[in-house]
Amino acid sequence: TLPIRIAPSILAADFARLGQEVRDVTEAGADWIHLDVMDGHFVPNISFGPDVIKSLRSYSKALFDCHLMIAPADPYLEAFAKAGCDSITVHAEAGVHLHRSLQTIRSLGKRTGVTLNPSTPLSVLENVLDDVDLILIMSVNPGFGGQKFIPAMADKIRAAKAMISDRPIELEVDGGVTTETAPAIIAAGANVLVAGSAIFKGAGVDDYRKTIDALRQKAEG
């Protein structure tokens, strides 16, 4: 089984001091930095793009986990790869050629990810399991931080874990992850926890470390 990874989402960070925020969560023990890219079209919010990510790259050696909430994604994959993303995750709903998007990400030398909105069935993954390094289960409707975990997603995580079987695919959960919801998410089979508001509601590196440690403790039991 893959290690537990805590992935703070900088969507909830202070955008005026983003470099320092990335440095602080890294120092506080983040395994991955989760980067939420929103286009105001696929989701009803706009965040940041590849130039911002590129300028953040020197602030952390942690894996840059890029969650693209944009449609179409294909014209921008190269820009996100060049910006320093280590994994690039596209929404299954963002285009009609998911397999092609995954091939493109692999050809750019990056880890591939697919994410599913809460209402999207796991069956869209059936024929791309060998092309995927990461599956991201949305446990809120994408677009905003600070929403509540949708309880029905626990069963979906369990089903995704069963579908993955013994493949070395990371199973990541995004939305409403807190120290309260983390145990059920991990029990269902996830190994990567994205947390935005739960971590960044704190003030500075000491608070961030407390939350990251608490999440890891809940996850590792």
Which H, E and C letters describe 34-86, residue by residue? EEEEEECCCCCCECCCHHHHHHHHHHCCCEEEEEEECCCCHHHHHHHHHHCCC
- Residues 18-47 close enough to bind Zn ion by CB under 5 A: 36
Does the annotation count 31 as an active-site position?
Answer: no
CB of 146 to ligand DX5, least distance (A): 5
The entry of Zn ion, ligand DX5, none that residue 8 binds, CB within 5 to 8 Å by partner kind = none
Q: Nearer to ligand DX5 by C-beta: 59 or 144?
A: 144
**Residue with the two structure tokens 């990567």:** 192
Between CA 221 and CA 206 the distance in angstroms is 22
Q: Is 67 in the site for Zn ion (CB under 5 A)?
A: yes
Binding residue per annotation — 202?
no
Question: Which of Zn ion, ligand DX5, none does residue 218 bind (CB under 5 to 8 Å by kind)?
Answer: none
| Cα 189 to chain centroid, rounded | 16
Cβ nearer to Zn ion, comparing 15 with 107: 15
Is 65 labeled as catalytic in the residue annotation? no
- Choose among ligand DX5, Zn ion, none what residue 137 binds, the Cβ cut-off being 5 to 8 Å by kind: none
Of all helices (H) and strands (E), which one includes residue 116?
strand 111-116
How far apart are CB 202 and ligand DX5 at their closest, in Å?
Answer: 13
Tell whether residue 145 is among the known ligand binding residues: yes
Q: Compare residues 103 and 184 and give the one whose CB is closer to ligand DX5.
A: 184
Residue 102, φ and ψ in degrees, nearest 5: -65, -40
Give the number of other CB atoms < 10 A from CB of residue 203: 8
Whichever of 93 and 103 has its CB closer to ligand DX5, that residue is 93
Q: Can you tell me the distance from the alpha carbon of 79 to that of 41, in angstroms, rounded to the nearest whole number? A: 19
Just list the catalytic residues: 36, 174
